[in-house]
Amino acid sequence: MAQKTIAGVNLEVTEDGYLEDSTQWNEEIAKEIAKEEGIELTDKHFEVINFIRENADAGLTIRKVGKSGIVDIKGFYELFPGGPLKIASKIAGIKKPTSCV
Amino acid sequence: MKKILILGAGTGGTIMANKLRKALDREEWDITIVDKQQTHYYQPGFLFIPFGIYNKQDVIKPKANFIPSGVNIIFNDVDKIVPEENKVLLTGGKVLAYDYLIVATGTRPFPDETPGLKDELWYKEIFDFYTIEGAVALKEFFETWQGGRLVMNIAEMPYKCPVAPLEFVFLADEYFTKIGIRDKVDISYVTPLPGAFTKPRATKMLGALLEEKNIEVIPDFYLESVDNKEKKIKSYDGKEIPFDVLTIVPVNKGDEMIERSGMGDDLNFIPTDKYTLQSEKHENIFVLGDASNIPTSKAGSVAHFASDVLFDNIMCAIKGRRLRAKFDGHANCYIETGFGKGSLIDFNYETEPLPGTYPLPGIGPFGLLQNTKMNHYGKVVFRWMYWHMLLKGKELPIESEMTMAGKKK
């Protein structure tokens, strides 16, 4: 665990930079984490981020985001290139997604 | 007469039929099990068919052989469950009422979910090995194949038997070495995961083994479609990988009956309490094995361990007591690594696979996260145990609950 100041707030983050406490999240923090990932957030990004925050407890998959009605899977990749679920979760201030085997 | 109805006579359903019939009074409790197929497949054996190690006869037996007397078996498709009325409708019009329902209808591959997968190359140069048809077709293909690019791809998480595609590439490495064309075969392992496996220590151990055997891992690849003309798989973010033969784990989903009943998530898995195995919505419905959405492996070992917990909880429910047994997510997987060796992993919801010995601390005989001959024998012997002990609900010499004894942190 590490301390990090993001958007003027002192936060606890994991080794990979995910927020420990998702209730501390706000939009300014999201913008700053996104900048570190090389992403400029648009309204569309925030629609996806809000969907992710609302469904965090139910377990998320790329497929599920693709069925959200906000973006399809291709669009999700375009908004968050590389690993969309991992990156979007980090920006949304929720835990790193885990696949269980 | 009170009624327990079990849907699915696979590993989980068959074990429950045996356990419950033994425990419940025949004058008081009627037990019925429904399945659409009459044949029980030993699914862990499918993996060995493409390499000529097992044949079809080694992995099939009649389901009826494993259902005890005093349990009604019905071979019929299920149309849907009507949980509000405690009823199950069978295709053809028959209606079955229940007091308690156990759903053990498993998961299966749905190649239709991926554009181009079940197309002109299906069972010609594209194969799954999670069905008897796919495994046998692949065996015939390998018998005359001269070499080229072999691509093993996993389409979506979760899928059943998470170690099987790894075992497949290890066995392929051995097979092509033995027939003398390994230098003409490129093997790659293409996965949506960030590495060979999900949990860190197992990923490290298995990743090193793949490298040693000259099998390339291509991570973070999420399959969008298959191009049959150019023989390429394509990902959502525009990556393309060419193949000469594609072996695929198609998207896995729960039974379509779950969807018709309105009881599943987006992949037809039933939301289930991961500790009690009770359906989240209906207190007289329990879910066993791959049909549920609990966050552990979809594997026979899990259904087997969970069956002890489910048995306790159904006995509690019948007596009106609180459900006291808790499932820990225990999974135990033998991993064939080729050339007569194997590895073994043992884990649960909380604990990732760790090195050590199993089941006896310090003695074994099996080595956890180690590559040994003894682990391979364990897998060989297991097929006998499966047919003769496990399905019939007999005690095995291993505990249902995972133990830390013998594991090193």
**Domain containing A69: what range?**
2-91
Evaluate if residue B168 carries a pLDDT over 70.
yes
Distance CA B260, CA B268 (A): 9
A99 confidence band (pLDDT: 50, 70, 90) = low
A47 confidence band (pLDDT: 50, 70, 90) = very high
Distance CA B55, CA B50 (A): 9
Catalytic residue positions of A, numbered = 100
CA distance A9 to chain B (A): 31
A8 confidence band (pLDDT: 50, 70, 90) = confident
Asked whether this chain's domains B2-106+255-318 and B111-252 adopt the same fold, the reply is: yes
The residue among B154, B222, B239, B251 with the most chain A CBs within 10 A of its CB, best to mutate, is B222
Option in B198, B237, B293 nearest A101 (CB):
B198
Q: Where are the domains of chain B?
A: 2-106+255-318, 111-252, 331-390
| Size of the A and B interface in Cβ pairs below 8 Å | 43
CA distance A15 to chain B (A): 14
The residue among B157, B274, B281, B293 with the most chain A CBs within 10 A of its CB, best to mutate, is B157
Evaluate if residue A101 carries a pLDDT over 60.
no
Residues of A whose CB is below 8 A from B237: 77, 81-82
pLDDT at A4: 87
Q: Over the stretch B313-353, which tens digit does the pLDDT of each residue have?
A: 999 999 999 999 999 999 999 999 999 999 999 999 999 99
Distance CA B205, CA B166 (A): 12
Q: Are B87 and B196 in contact (CB under 8 A)?
A: no
Q: Is residue A96 part of a domain?
A: no
Residues of A whose CB is below 8 A from B224: 73-74
Q: Is residue A31 part of a domain?
A: yes
Strand partners for B285: B101
Strand partners for B101: B5, B285
Domain B2-106+255-318 has what CATH class?
alpha beta
3-state SS, one letter per residue, for B350-381: CCCCCCEEEEECCCEEEEECCCEHHHHHHHHH
CA distance A34 to chain B (A): 19
Distance CA B83, CA B261 (A): 8
Calculate what percentage of chain A has a pLDDT beyond 70: 96
Q: Over the stretch B10-32, which tens digit does the pLDDT of each residue have?
A: 999 999 999 999 999 999 999 99
pLDDT at A61: 85
Option in A76, A82, A99 nearest B157 (CB):
A99
Q: Is B267's CB within 8 Å of A63's CB? A: yes
Residue of B nearest to A79 (CA): B237
Residues of A whose CB is below 8 A from B267: 63
Distance CA B182, CA B176 (A): 5
Q: What angle do CA B13, B159, B214 make, to 5 degrees?
A: 130
Q: Is B236's CB within 8 Å of A61's CB? A: no
Q: Is residue A99 part of a domain?
A: no
pLDDT at A39: 96
Total domains present in chain A: 1
CATH for B111-252 is 3.50.50.60
CA distance B158 to chain A (A): 7
Residues of A whose CB is below 8 A from B197: 101
